[in-house]
Amino acid sequence: MRSRGWISPLVVALLVAGVFAVFSQTYSFEFVNLDDDEYVTANPFVNGGINSENVRWAFTAFHSGHWHPLTWLSLALDCEIWGMTPGPMHLENVAWHAANAALLFLLLGSMTGQIGRSAFVAAVFALHPLRVESVAWVTERKDVLSVFFWLLTTYFYVGYSRRPGAARYLLVLATFVVGLLAKPMLVTLPLTLLLLDFWPLRRIDSARTRSVAVGAGPISPQRSVTTLILEKVPLLLIALAAGTMTSAAQRAAGALVSFDALPLTQRIVNAAWSYVAYLGMTLWPTRLAPFYPLTDVPWRRGLVALVLLVAATALALKAWRRAPYLTVGWLWYGITLLPVIGLVQVGGQLMADRFTYVPHIGLLFGLTWGAAELAQRFHVRPEVRAAGAALVVVPLALSTAQQTTHWRNTETLFVHTLAVTTGNFMAHNNLGIALAERGRADEAMQHYAAAVDINPTWPEARNNLGNALASRRDYVGAEAQYRTALQIRPNFPSARYNLGLALAYQGRLEEAITEYRRALAAQPNNPTTHYSLGDSLERLGHLESATEHFQAAVQIAPGHDAARRRLARLLGQLGRLEEAIAHDTELLRRMPSDAETCHHLANLLVRMGKAAEAIPWYRRAIAERPDWADAYQHLATALAANGDLDAAIAEYRTALRLEPESRLTMYNLGQALARAGRAGEAAAMLVAADSSQPSH
C-alpha cells in the first residue's frame, strides 16, 4: 500500500506525457472550415476577445444551435491572449484532454482502490483514435472542457458520498452547473451518479448490495434507493433547465429534424445500429471521419442490432451481483449516449466520433474490470497482464497519432473523409470551400456539384455552388442556386445575403436592398451585410441611410476598415467633418501608410480652414504614391492658402508634369503665379488653360 504514494503521481505524469506525445502535433495545425468559422474565425464576439459586450453575448445568444457560454468565453480568452492563432487553441484542447485523462485515473482509483486497472482505463480513454475529433478540432473545446467538469463533479460527489454535508453537496452542484455551461452533454450525469451509488460506491442500503464488493473501494454510508433518488433531484432539475435551453437553441437554428422528415421507427433503427457501430469502432477504430451522413439504416440490419442490444442489456443486468462493473459500465454507455443517439435528431450526421467521449468511460471500465477478473481467475501473472495492456495501448496510441494527422487542415481532413466514406455531401462541400480559398475554382465547382447531386435538398451546398458561379460572373446562375437554397431553408442568412450580392451585381439594387434587410432581420449583427446594404443605398443616393449601415458595421466590427473608409467619405460629403476626421484618424492609426486616407483627411482639414495641418498629410500621401497628380495639386492649394506661394507653384508644376492636360492644374498654377507677381507666366498659363481640352 505504501507504494501508491509514488505510483499515482507517476501514472498521472505518464498519462499527461502520452497525451502530449500523441496530440502536440496539432500545434502546427490550421483552423478547419467545419464550424471553426462559426466558433472563432468569423465570430466577432469570440475573436474580439474578452469584453463586456462579448460576455453578454456569450450568455444570451443561441449561436450555431447551441447555448454554451463557458465554451464561448474560453475561446474568446484564447483570442484575447493569442489573437487569431490556431496553435495555442489546439494546444489548450490537448491540455484539457490530458487533465481529463489524469482526473479519470484519480477518480477511478479513489472509488475502487485499483491503481493498475484505473491507469489502463485512463490510458485507453486518452489515447484511443475516437478521441481525435474531440482534441484536434478547435470547435470541440466544448467537449474537453465540459468533461473536465463532469469528472470533477463526480470526484467531488465521491467525497460527498463518503462524508455527506451541505458544503460538499453545494460543491457538486456548482461544478455540475459550470460543466453544463460548457456543453449540455452533462444532462445525464445525475443518472451516472446513481449508477456509481450501486457500484463501486455501494451506497444502496441493501444486504445484497453490501455483498457486491468486486474491485470496489471503501463502502460509503448507506442510503435507501428513494433517498438516493431524491438526493439527485436538484441535479435533475438543473439538467432539465439546461436541456430546455439547448432545445430552444437548436430550434432557433433550425437544427432539429422533424418527425415527418425522419419517422420515429427509423430513428429507433438508426439508434440501435449506432449503438452497435460505436462498439465496433471501439474495438477496431479504422476509417474514422468527422462526418457520417445521416442515412436510413436498413431494417434488417437495425433489427439485428436491436436484438444484440437487448441481449447485451439482459446479460449485463443479470450479472449485477457477480460482475457489477459490467452492469454499471454497460448502463453508463447506454445512458450517456441517449442525448446524441438520434432519437432526437439534430443535424445531418448519423454518428460522430466525439459522441463517444463520455460513453467510452463506462464501456472501458466495464471491459477492463471484466478482463482483470478473468485474468485473476485463471492466475495470469502480473507481467503478462502488463504486457497485454501495453499491446493494447501502444497500437492505439500509434493509430491515434496517425488519425490526428488528417486534421492538419481542411483539405487533408476532407480528402481523407472522402476516401473512407461514401455519399458524403458534407465532405464534398467543405473540400470545395477549401479548394476555392486556394484559388482552385474548377475543382471546387466539381465538389459543390457532387454535394448537390448527392443531397439536392441541402441548402449549404446550393449556396456554395451559387458562390462558385458568382465567382465566374454567372450571376443569373448564382441567383437560381441561392433561391433554391432559400426555398429549402427560408431562414438562411448567408444565402439571403449572397442573393442580395448577385442582384446587386446585376444592377437590381432595390431588390438587393430587400434581400440584405431580410438577412439582417435573421442575423442583425453581421457587419458584412450592413456594409453591402450601405453600399447599395449609397449607389442609389440614400446617403443618410447608407451612413447608418456603415456605422453599424464599424460598431459591430471595429476592424472592418472598408466600412470605416466608406463611412468617413460619406460623413465628409454630408458635412459632418469632425466625425469623418475621427474615422480617418482611426484608420491611419491602424494603417499609417494608407495614402488615400491621408489624402482624404488632408482634404477635410482644408475644408475646416486648417491648411497648415493638412500639408503634412498630403506629403505623407505623396510619399506613398509619388505619381498621384491630385495629391500634388491639393498640396499646392494648401500651401498657397498657407501663404507659401513658391512651394505651391513647385507642387503645381509637378502635378502638371504628371497630368499635362489638366485644365484645373493650369488654372490654379496661373492664379498662384499671378499672386506671386509673375504676371507674364501667369497670363501664359491661364491662356493655356482656356485653350486646352477639358480634363476628366
Q: What is the pLDDT of residues 223-272, one digit of tens each?
A: 889 999 999 999 999 999 998 988 888 877 666 777 777 899 999 999 99
pLDDT digits (tens, 9 = 90+) for 351-386: 999 999 999 999 999 999 999 999 999 999 999 999
Whether the CB-CB separation of 540 and 510 falls below 8 Å is answered with: yes
User: What is the structure's pLDDT at 246?
Assistant: 85
The domain of 670 spans 592-696
DSSP 292: E
User: What is the structure's pLDDT at 1?
Assistant: 36
User: What is the structure's pLDDT at 207?
Assistant: 46
Give the Cα separation of 264 and 337 in Å (integer).
Answer: 17
Whether the CB-CB separation of 290 and 418 falls below 8 Å is answered with: no
Alpha helices per DSSP H over 591-678: 595-607, 611-624, 629-641, 645-658, 663-675
User: What is the structure's pLDDT at 4?
Assistant: 56
Would 477 be classed as within a structural domain? no
pLDDT digits (tens, 9 = 90+) for 68-117: 999 999 999 999 999 999 999 999 999 999 999 999 999 999 999 999 99
Q: Which of 184, 97, 83, 103 is nearest to 133 (CA)?
A: 97
Would 330 be classed as within a structural domain? yes
Q: Which H or E run contains 467?
A: helix 459-471
Give the Cα separation of 467 and 472 in Å (integer).
Answer: 9
- Torsion on CA atoms 408, 410, 413, 417, rounded to nearest 10: 180
Q: Average the pLDDT over 147-157 and give the result.
A: 98
User: What is the structure's pLDDT at 250?
Assistant: 80
Give the Cα separation of 19 and 26 in Å (integer).
Answer: 12
Q: Average the pLDDT over 451-480 and give the result.
A: 95
- Domain containing residue 617: CATH number: 1.25.40.10
Whether the CB-CB separation of 138 and 93 falls below 8 Å is answered with: yes
User: What is the structure's pLDDT at 212?
Assistant: 53
pLDDT digits (tens, 9 = 90+) for 193-215: 999 999 999 998 764 555 555 55
SS3 call for 223: strand
Would 507 be classed as within a structural domain? no
Domain boundary residue among 405, 427, 454?
405
Give the Cα separation of 297 and 426 in Å (integer).
Answer: 19
Domain boundary residue among 357, 388, 405?
405
pLDDT band at residue 696, thresholds of 50, 70 and 90?
very low
Would 384 be classed as within a structural domain? yes
Give the Cα separation of 483 and 489 in Å (integer).
Answer: 10
Considering only 24-28, 122-126, 250-254, 390-394, which range has the smallest mean pLDDT? Answer: 250-254
pLDDT digits (tens, 9 = 90+) for 273-324: 999 999 999 999 999 999 999 888 999 999 999 999 999 999 999 999 999 9
User: What is the structure's pLDDT at 474?
Assistant: 96
- Residue 223: phi and psi, rounded to 5, are -140, 155
Q: Is 44 exposed, middle or buried (0-12, 13-18, 19+ CB in 10 A)?
A: middle
User: What is the structure's pLDDT at 216?
Assistant: 56
Kindly tell me if the per-residue pLDDT of 412 is higher than 90. yes
Give the Cα separation of 83 and 41 in Å (integer).
Answer: 10
Q: Which of 17, 3, 132, 145 is nearest to 70 (CA)?
A: 145
Counted domains in the chain: 2
Would 532 be classed as within a structural domain? no
User: What is the structure's pLDDT at 2?
Assistant: 43
Per the DSSP assignment, residues forming a β-bridge with 66 are: 63
Mean pLDDT of the chain: 93
Q: Average the pLDDT over 614-632 and give the result.
A: 96
Whether the CB-CB separation of 332 and 367 falls below 8 Å is answered with: no
| Residue whose entry in the numeric block shows the C-alpha cell 434587410 | 517
Would 505 be classed as within a structural domain? no
pLDDT digits (tens, 9 = 90+) for 8-46: 999 999 999 999 999 999 999 999 999 999 999 999 899
Would 446 be classed as within a structural domain? no
User: What is the structure's pLDDT at 219?
Assistant: 60
Q: Average the pLDDT over 412-436 and give the result.
A: 96
Q: Which of 521, 458, 509, 510 is nearest to 487 (CA)?
A: 458
What are the cell numbers at 342? Answer: 438520434
DSSP states along 295-363 = ----HHHHHHHHHHHHHHHHHHHHTTTT-HHHHHHHHHHHHHHGGGSSSS-BSSEEE-GGGGTTHHHHH
DSSP 131: G
Give the Cα separation of 596 and 591 in Å (integer).
Answer: 11
Cα-based distances in Å from 202 to 75, 162, 192: 40, 10, 13
State the sign of the Cα–Cα–Cα–Cα dihedral 108, 109, 111, 113: positive
User: What is the structure's pLDDT at 571?
Assistant: 97
SS3 call for 2: coil
Which residues, at least 6 apart from 460, have a Cβ–Cβ distance to it below 8 Å?
Answer: 429, 485
Whether the CB-CB separation of 576 and 550 falls below 8 Å is answered with: no
Q: Which of 505, 507, 495 is nearest to 467 (CA)?
A: 495
Count of CA atoms in the C-beta half-sphere (13 A) of 364: 28
Q: Which of 337, 298, 297, 332 is nearest to 313 (CA)?
A: 332
Q: What is the length of the chain?
A: 696
Domain boundary residue among 405, 436, 469?
405
- Residue 204: phi and psi, rounded to 5, are -75, 130
Omega into 200 within 30° of 0, i.e. cis? yes
Cα-based distances in Å from 662 to 86, 469, 544, 649, 668: 52, 42, 33, 15, 10
User: What is the structure's pLDDT at 217?
Assistant: 58
Q: Which of 51, 26, 47 is nearest to 38 (CA)?
A: 47
Would 543 be classed as within a structural domain? no
Kindly tell me if the per-residue pLDDT of 3 is higher than 50. no
Helix then strand then coil, in percent of the chain rounded to 5, is 75, 0, 25
pLDDT digits (tens, 9 = 90+) for 501-512: 999 999 999 999
pLDDT band at residue 65, thresholds of 50, 70 and 90?
confident
What are the cell numbers at 394? Answer: 501502444
DSSP states along 405-458 = HTTSSHHHHHHHHHHH-SS-HHHHHHHHHHHHHTT-HHHHHHHHHHHHHH-TT-
pLDDT digits (tens, 9 = 90+) for 161-182: 999 999 999 999 999 999 999 9
